[in-house]
């Protein structure tokens, strides 16, 4: 609804398809019992989000989403699911417990609260968005912001990625002195 103006039916149709795909695949992620299907649903979720980013004139972020999230993170997930094989999902425990019912009720209450608060607080101000110049969302603008106004974000992100890479290597290395089942002689 953000981009839909009075006469732009095509934009509205694309938005409806992308939004419902997003919601449906999101629910599918937690509903499938096979974790492989859950990961595939998440890939669909990320792709529909990328379409919505394109509708919001965020072209660089949409491309980064497909490359980084769907291309790298989800491939990692699929590798780990393939490695784990049958151990990837814990056996289903029985019917919904009080924990389950409480969780669903809390989520529904939170959702209703968010919608009501946004509706009350913004009034009619969300219907008109600012005019943007042609470089909005382009790599030039992102790069310019990263190197001038948001330099701190840039540097901190690189440090976070370095720390995560080092941590990943350490977690993945076989340690010779802890007894693991298959290395006992």
Partner 1 sequence: MLIRRSPLIVLLSLEIMLNGANLALIAFSRHYGQGDGQIFALAVMAVAASEVVVGLGLIVAIARRRLDLDVDKLSTLRG
Residue with smaller CB distance to partner 1, 119 or 168: 168
**From 4, 11, 21, 64, residue interacting with partner 1 (rule: CB under 8 A):** 64
Q: Which of 98, 177, 181, 184 binds partner 1 (CB under 8 A)?
A: 181
Q: Smaller CB distance to partner 1: residue 13 or 84?
A: 84
Considering just the CA atoms, what is the radius of gyration of the chain in Å? 22
Using a 10 angstrom Cβ sphere, with 0-12 exposed, 13-18 middle and 19 or more buried, the burial of residue 159 is exposed
What is the nearest approach in angstroms of partner 1 to the Cβ of residue 180? 6
- Residue 94 as a binder of partner 1 (CB under 8 A): the answer is no
- Cβ neighbors of 24 (< 8 A, separation 6 or more) are none
CB 81 within 8 Å of CB 93: no
140 to 159, contacts with partner 1 by CB under 8 A? 141-142, 145-146, 149-150, 153, 156-157
9 part of the interface to partner 1, by CB under 8 A:
no
Q: Which of 7, 87, 98, 121 binds partner 1 (CB under 8 A)?
A: 87
33/19 Cα distance (integer angstroms): 24
The sign of the dihedral angle between the CA atoms of 124, 125, 131, 132 is: negative
Tokens, residue 162 = 């370095």
**Interatomic CA distance for residues 54 and 26, integer angstroms:** 19
Closest CA to 29 of 17, 16, 43: 43
Interface residues with partner 1 (CB under 8 A) are: 2, 26, 29-30, 35, 38-39, 42, 45-46, 49, 52-53, 56-58, 60-61, 64-65, 68-69, 72-73, 76-77, 80-81, 83-84, 87-90, 93, 96, 99-100, 103, 126, 129-132, 136-137, 141-142, 145-146, 149-150, 153, 156-157, 160-161, 163-165, 167-168, 171-172, 180-181
């Amino acid at each position: 609804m953000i981009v839909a103006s009075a006469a732009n039916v095509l934009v509205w149709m694309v938005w409806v398809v992308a939004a419902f795909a997003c919601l449906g695949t999101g629910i599918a992620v937690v509903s499938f019992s096979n974790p492989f299907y859950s990961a595939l649903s998440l890939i669909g979720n990320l792709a529909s989000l990328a379409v919505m980013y394109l509708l919001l004139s965020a072209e660089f972020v949409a491309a980064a989403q497909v490359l980084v999230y769907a291309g790298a993170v989800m491939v990692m997930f699929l590798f780990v699911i393939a490695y784990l094989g049958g151990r990837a999902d814990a056996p289903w425990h029985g019917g919904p417990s009080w924990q389950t019912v409480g969780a669903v009720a809390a989520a529904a209450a939170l959702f209703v609260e968010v919608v009501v608060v946004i509706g009350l607080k913004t009034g009619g101000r969300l219907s008109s968005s600012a005019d943007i110049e042609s470089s909005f969302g382009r790599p030039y603008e992102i790069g310019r912001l990263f190197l001038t106004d948001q330099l701190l974000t840039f540097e901190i992100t690189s440090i976070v990625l370095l720390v995560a890479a080092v941590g990943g290597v350490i977690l993945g290395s076989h340690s010779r002195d802890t007894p693991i089942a298959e290395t006992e002689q």
